[in-house]
Chain A
Amino acid sequence: MTWLLALILLPIAGAVVVAWLRDNDRLAFRTALGFSLATLALVIPLWNSYEPGGDRMQQTSSVEWIPRFGIHFAFGIDGIALVMIAVIALLVPLVITVLGVTDRLPAGRSAGGYLSLILVQQGLTIGVFSATDVFLFYVLFEVMLVPMYFLIGAYGGPNRQYAAVKFFLYSFLGGLIMLASVIGAYVIASEELTEGTFDWATLTAVVSDAPLSTQIWLFLGFFLAFAIKAPLVPLHTWLPDAAGQAPIGVAVVLVGVLDKVGTFGFLRYCIPMFPAASQELAPWVLTLAVAGVLYASVLAAGQQDMKRFVAYVSIAHFGFITLGIFAFSMQSQVGAVTYMLNHSLATGMLILVIGMVIARGGSSVISDYGGMAKVTPVLAGLMLVAGLATLALPGTNTFISEFLVLLGAFETRPVFTVFAAIGMVLAAVYVLWLYQRVMQGPVRGNALVGAAGGPGAVQAPEVAAPKVVRDTSRRELAVLAPLVVLIIGLGIYPKPVVDVVTPSVEATMSAVQGGDER
């Protein structure tokens, strides 16, 4: 058993155990946290055993599943998958810890069910990142929707049913269209090789030589699924609803990691399998990406709700990532991959901080807040760190990524890059404006003033609010501390991550360059 398999199975085993602890919330919480920390610990040997210069796929294992179709339970990782697995392993313990801090379960629901779903989600997501059999990837890609559907639908905000169904149907439709392409690729391979297979490497080798028109059709099937998942404008409308209605912890998992499956899919499936189609259609994809950056940035600035704000910010960032991927330069792709990691950390932290703000004010509407820095200075400082990382200030981790993306993309696609760079300016606008409205100025807003005793209270809100609204607790600090360390640390010294992902990006790029020569 490889470390990788252990990483997939441990959270699922944890989920089974926790699901039995429905009567004892405290025990369920501790057990779930224990399993998630053990999973995180398993990342260390996984990371150490990964050799950046080694094979394309490492930690491989394969067991026959449906021999008639050449389907295997086959897992393995490259550098890109490793980074994404590490980040979800890091985020899940944090998400579990904030249960009870930022998220309160609805009455009558036990913690066991919620935590169990989170752990299943983790196991399936790690599986998606590490599947090396295309059929298996598809299976996990679709099954992954089920726990998230229940997490949003059962534990979310007032409009949760709508959000959950919308989330599911969007992703399910995308997945089904991808299934057509998966089968199409299989059919091509079985005609070419006389025996069908879903092995990623074999399939890639065969399909990447297919004629351009075939490639374009198959590419579109995969692309649609990943563009919905990422999400790219105009397929993004499910995300603000889903992220806006999901509990904070679930939103972290959804926006922080699940959506990365989309951009991961571009890198792992779209480009290596269909290099000619990727290049042919790159201008269209880039148009969507840049339109997404600008459109989502403007919408982010106009949001009234903090959770929806984060969703739009993420959509803008996914535009950057897609730009980096489809600009087809080494630098921009390395930038895009590190951006996937850094966005998870920065946005994950921003969502958590916003969740802590919401937990204090009981409202996610921006105009319900104001001057909160006077009441909770530490929380305000943390929000500033998360915000600055989100707008890619030099010294934070996202800066390097965004810089690499723009630098690399400018060489190959200058026009798109110039437009995307406007997004950087807009990012400063929406982040700082949010911070200003929530944290600065006099203490105001229904949430804070209301918490301090309502408009008729005797004391001034500056005096009364601190007594009711507490600053960050130790538990909250413990949740945010690792993120702050990583955001600053990777901002100053990004080499470990860049070293791990570079060979995998090179391999991806070589597929496209191989397509050029043909």
Chain B
Amino acid sequence: MFPAQVDAMTPPSIDYGAILPIVIILGAAAVGVLLEAFVPKQHRWSVQVVVSVAALAGAAIALGVYIPGAPEAGITTMAETLAIDRPALFLWGTLLVLGFGALLFIAERSVEPGGAFASQAALRGVAGGSGGGSGPTTVTSGSRAGGDDAGAGAAEPYQMQTEVFPLTLFALGGMMTFVAANDLLTMFIALEVLSLPLYLLCGLARRRRLLSQEAAVKYFLLGAFASAFFLYGLALLYGYASSVKLADIAEAAAGTARSDTLLFTGLGLLVVGLLFKGSVGPFHTWTPDVYQGAPTSVTGFMAACTKVAAFGAMLRVLYVAFEGASWEWRGVLWGVAVVSMAIGAILGLTQRDIKRMIAYSSIAHAGFLVIGVMTLSEDGLAATMFYLLAYGFTTIAAFAVVSLVRDASGEATDLSAWAGLAKRSPLLAAVFTFLLLALAGIPLTSGFVGKFVVFAAALSEGLVALVVLALVFSAVAAFYYLRVVVVMYFSEPSPGGPTVSVPGAFTTATIAIGTIATLVLGVYPGFALDWASAGTFAF
């Protein structure tokens, strides 16, 4: 009996060409962990940067080599756990370019001497509180008091914590798996692979330690809940369809006499988990705190890439597994979209902190994205993916700009500190204004094109009321973007106001990539729209 079983078991076929990008990213992450152990401290930063950038470039090349020969309809591989189809390839490309932008931003260490990341998990109470006022001296002495780098002389610069690079790569690899996962179990594992490094990254801020650690704990606790919801939903759906494969669930939902309770409860719990990751209201409560507390570069990475991953997975789950049940969930998502847009637009009005403001903006944008997901049409799929690409570039660049406006205690994120910024640094103010206009959706920016394609797809599906509401909330949200412009341009600078750091090459690159992409996708979006609409899901 036993030998016969062995004979029958054939290893699943793996299309290495197709999954090479994921393999490269996760492999580089593992190599990065080893480098942490073996490379001398003073070389770690440069080695890690080189390895990470090489990994992203390698993955991008692997993707570029694979795409021309890829079958139009897509393939499934590794015993149908991964579906590598056109949407997955587009989202991979999106994640890689956005990840590249975020990685450069994370690697910056000239704006804040030594980089934005703490070299220890906690500094033994030295730089407690908000960290404000005490400044880098306290932190440095604190790290020395920790006795970790005993050989560090007074002249030696503060060393950046370089674990962030492998952590980022792990998260990115998880995201890429997440958007290509063809069964729920793979999706859950990918969810954990992408989430755990993010929880850690959130807590690594060098300044405002408590805020950062609070953000990490909050994100972890709520994220764990969301994962539990997802897992519970998965279990119920397995009970319903006796399979975790998306295609099997779709088949089961199409024609069985089994209890719909299992299906809908499972679907509901699953979607809650995904909506949480996408920071869609009313599952958004972690977003403002985490965006504010996390190191700004990590926030940029999360805001752009996590959103891509969450919505990419949501698209796949809803399109592939639950299209047949759309009657039942569309009404619910309708409400979710409205709530998310309303929360993002209205609560955003009351924010005084730029990072929190962008967090609420991301909640409003998540509402717009839900509209794209709800359309369930090919146009809607392409539109949502384009929106993700456009929004990601804009938001990374926006956070990169935020990281440059500083005062003695670090980043000056309070709105009042930005008064008259245009007089001090007109270029930076102009770039930020452009990015804000893109977030508001003014034409000739990618934000407008994204909104346009999503709304066009939604109107084609008859979601008229939702689109009109979305437009009204866009106008409401425009108010707080404009308020920042007003503060930067039309207010007199305050005497003790912040200084604008000269950006290092890395942050400059991030801002330039994001801004140029925002402009190009706004003025000439045709090529990206064509990529996004090249095909639909395989299963």
**A residues apposed to B, CB below 8 Å:** 65-69, 108, 138-140, 142-143, 145-146, 149-150, 153-154, 160-161, 164-165, 168-169, 172-173, 176-177, 179-180, 183-184, 186-187, 190, 217
Task: Please determine whether B482 and A180 come into contact, CB atoms closer than 8 angstroms.
Answer: no
Chain A min CB distance to B441 (Å): 8
Bound CA–CA A68/B442 (angstroms): 20
Task: Please determine whether B467 and A164 come into contact, CB atoms closer than 8 angstroms.
Answer: no
Q: Mark B420-460, 1 if CB is under 8 A from A, else 0.
A: 00010000000000000100111110001000100110011
Within 8 A of A (CB), among B451-494: 452, 455-456, 459-460, 464, 467-468, 471-472, 474-475, 478-479, 482-483, 485-486, 489-491
Chain A min CB distance to B275 (Å): 25
Which of B40-48, B404-412, B526-534 lies on the face that meets chain A? B526-534
Q: Could you write out 8 A-B pairs with CB less than 8 Å apart? A: A66-B526, A142-B442, A161-B486, A164-B486, A176-B441, A176-B472, A177-B468, A217-B464
Does B281 count as interface, using CB distance less than 8 angstroms? no
Does B525 count as interface, using CB distance less than 8 angstroms? yes
Task: Please determine whether A153 and B459 come into contact, CB atoms closer than 8 angstroms.
Answer: no
The 8 Å CB contact of B482, one of A67, A168, A173, A187, is: A168
The 3 closest A-B pairs by CB, nearest first: A139-B443, A173-B475, A176-B471
Looking at B460, B468, B482, B490, the one whose CB has the most chain A CB atoms below 10 A away is B490
Chain B min CB distance to A458 (Å): 40
Looking at A68, A108, A150, A186, the one whose CB has the most chain B CB atoms below 10 A away is A68
Task: Please determine whether A187 and B456 come into contact, CB atoms closer than 8 angstroms.
Answer: yes
Chain A min CB distance to B324 (Å): 25
Contacts A65-B526, A172-B440, A183-B459 known; 9 new A-B pairs at CB < 8 A: A139-B448, A143-B444, A149-B485, A153-B485, A172-B478, A176-B474, A179-B455, A184-B464, A190-B460
A169-B475, A169-B482, A176-B474 known; A153 vs B533 contact (CB < 8 Å): no
Task: Please determine whether A168 and B455 come into contact, CB atoms closer than 8 angstroms.
Answer: no
Bound CA–CA A67/B479 (angstroms): 33
Looking at A67, A146, A154, the one whose CB has the most chain B CB atoms below 10 A away is A146
Looking at A179, A184, A190, the one whose CB has the most chain B CB atoms below 10 A away is A179
A177-B468, A183-B456 known; A153 vs B479 contact (CB < 8 Å): no
- In chain A, what residue has the closest Cβ to B482? A165
Within 8 A of A (CB), among B314-348: none
Chain B min CB distance to A123 (Å): 13
The 8 Å CB contact of B483, one of A108, A138, A165, is: A165
Enumerate chain B residues within 8 angstroms of A67, measured Cβ to Cβ.
526
Task: Please determine whether B474 and A184 come into contact, CB atoms closer than 8 angstroms.
Answer: no
Task: Please determine whether A69 and B489 come into contact, CB atoms closer than 8 angstroms.
Answer: no
Task: Please determine whether B459 and A187 come into contact, CB atoms closer than 8 angstroms.
Answer: yes
The 8 Å CB contact of B471, one of A108, A180, A190, is: A180
Task: Please determine whether B472 and A146 come into contact, CB atoms closer than 8 angstroms.
Answer: no
A66-B525, A143-B444, A165-B482 known; A176 vs B475 contact (CB < 8 Å): yes
Bound CA–CA A150/B434 (angstroms): 13
The 8 Å CB contact of A165, one of B442, B455, B486, is: B486
Chain B min CB distance to A305 (Å): 21
- In chain A, what residue has the closest Cβ to B445? A143
Bound CA–CA A415/B340 (angstroms): 49
Chain B min CB distance to A48 (Å): 33
Bound CA–CA A245/B92 (angstroms): 50
- In chain A, what residue has the closest Cβ to B474? A176
- In chain A, what residue has the closest Cβ to B489? A154
Task: Please determine whether B442 and A146 come into contact, CB atoms closer than 8 angstroms.
Answer: yes
Bound CA–CA A160/B444 (angstroms): 26
Task: Please determine whether B490 and A160 come into contact, CB atoms closer than 8 angstroms.
Answer: yes
Enumerate chain A residues within 8 angstroms of B455, measured Cβ to Cβ.
179-180, 183
Bound CA–CA A410/B486 (angstroms): 47
A150-B489, A154-B489, A187-B460 known; A179 vs B471 contact (CB < 8 Å): yes
Bound CA–CA A176/B474 (angstroms): 8
Task: Please determine whether A68 and B533 come into contact, CB atoms closer than 8 angstroms.
Answer: yes
Enumerate chain B residues within 8 angstroms of A138, measured Cβ to Cβ.
443
Chain A min CB distance to B12 (Å): 38
Enumerate chain A residues within 8 angstroms of B468, measured Cβ to Cβ.
177, 180
Enumerate chain B residues within 8 angstroms of A190, measured Cβ to Cβ.
460
Enumerate chain A residues within 8 angstroms of B486, measured Cβ to Cβ.
153, 161, 164-165
Looking at B448, B460, B475, B526, the one whose CB has the most chain A CB atoms below 10 A away is B475
Chain B min CB distance to A22 (Å): 9
Enumerate chain A residues within 8 angstroms of B479, measured Cβ to Cβ.
165, 169
Task: Please determine whether B489 and A180 come into contact, CB atoms closer than 8 angstroms.
Answer: no
Bound CA–CA A190/B475 (angstroms): 27
Task: Please determine whether B423 and A108 come into contact, CB atoms closer than 8 angstroms.
Answer: yes
Bound CA–CA A137/B489 (angstroms): 28
Enumerate chain A residues within 8 angstroms of B437, measured Cβ to Cβ.
146
- In chain B, what residue has the closest Cβ to A135? B452
Bound CA–CA A139/B489 (angstroms): 24
Task: Please determine whether B452 and A179 come into contact, CB atoms closer than 8 angstroms.
Answer: yes
Task: Please determine whether B442 and A153 come into contact, CB atoms closer than 8 angstroms.
Answer: no
Bound CA–CA A179/B467 (angstroms): 10
Bound CA–CA A332/B425 (angstroms): 53
Within 8 A of A (CB), among B386-422: none
Chain B min CB distance to A50 (Å): 28
Bound CA–CA A47/B474 (angstroms): 40
Enumerate chain B residues within 8 angstroms of A154, measured Cβ to Cβ.
489-490
The 8 Å CB contact of A142, one of B443, B491, B529, B530, is: B443
Bound CA–CA A168/B459 (angstroms): 26
The 8 Å CB contact of A139, one of B444, B460, B530, is: B444
Enumerate chain A residues within 8 angstroms of B524, measured Cβ to Cβ.
65
Task: Please determine whether A168 and B478 come into contact, CB atoms closer than 8 angstroms.
Answer: yes
Chain A min CB distance to B428 (Å): 16
Bound CA–CA A186/B443 (angstroms): 17
Task: Please determine whether A153 and B444 come into contact, CB atoms closer than 8 angstroms.
Answer: no
- In chain B, what residue has the closest Cβ to A145? B442
Enumerate chain B residues within 8 angstroms of A180, measured Cβ to Cβ.
455, 459, 464, 467-468, 471
Enumerate chain B residues within 8 angstroms of A164, measured Cβ to Cβ.
486, 490
Bound CA–CA A217/B462 (angstroms): 13
Bound CA–CA A506/B91 (angstroms): 52
- In chain A, what residue has the closest Cβ to B486? A161
Q: Mark B81-99, 1 if CB is under 8 A from A, else 0.
A: 0000000000000000000
Enumerate chain B residues within 8 angstroms of A149, measured Cβ to Cβ.
482, 485
Chain A min CB distance to B44 (Å): 45
- In chain A, what residue has the closest Cβ to B462? A187
Bound CA–CA A277/B434 (angstroms): 38
A66-B526, A165-B479, A180-B471 known; A143 vs B442 contact (CB < 8 Å): yes
- In chain A, what residue has the closest Cβ to B461? A187
Chain B min CB distance to A11 (Å): 17
- In chain A, what residue has the closest Cβ to B423? A108
Within 8 A of A (CB), among B506-533: 524-526, 529-530, 533
Looking at B442, B464, B533, the one whose CB has the most chain A CB atoms below 10 A away is B442
Bound CA–CA A187/B464 (angstroms): 12
Bound CA–CA A23/B437 (angstroms): 27
Bound CA–CA A160/B490 (angstroms): 8
Enumerate chain B residues within 8 angstroms of A143, measured Cβ to Cβ.
442-444
Chain B min CB distance to A115 (Å): 16
Enumerate chain B residues within 8 angstroms of A187, measured Cβ to Cβ.
456, 459-460
Bound CA–CA A67/B491 (angstroms): 43
The 8 Å CB contact of B475, one of A108, A161, A172, A183, is: A172
- In chain A, what residue has the closest Cβ to B437? A146
Chain B min CB distance to A163 (Å): 10
Bound CA–CA A65/B525 (angstroms): 9
A108-B423, A164-B490, A183-B459 known; A169 vs B526 contact (CB < 8 Å): no
Chain B min CB distance to A18 (Å): 15
Bound CA–CA A180/B441 (angstroms): 14
The 8 Å CB contact of A161, one of B440, B443, B490, B526, is: B490
Bound CA–CA A179/B529 (angstroms): 19
Looking at A66, A67, A153, the one whose CB has the most chain B CB atoms below 10 A away is A66
Enumerate chain B residues within 8 angstroms of A183, measured Cβ to Cβ.
452, 455-456, 459, 467
Enumerate chain B residues within 8 angstroms of A168, measured Cβ to Cβ.
478, 482
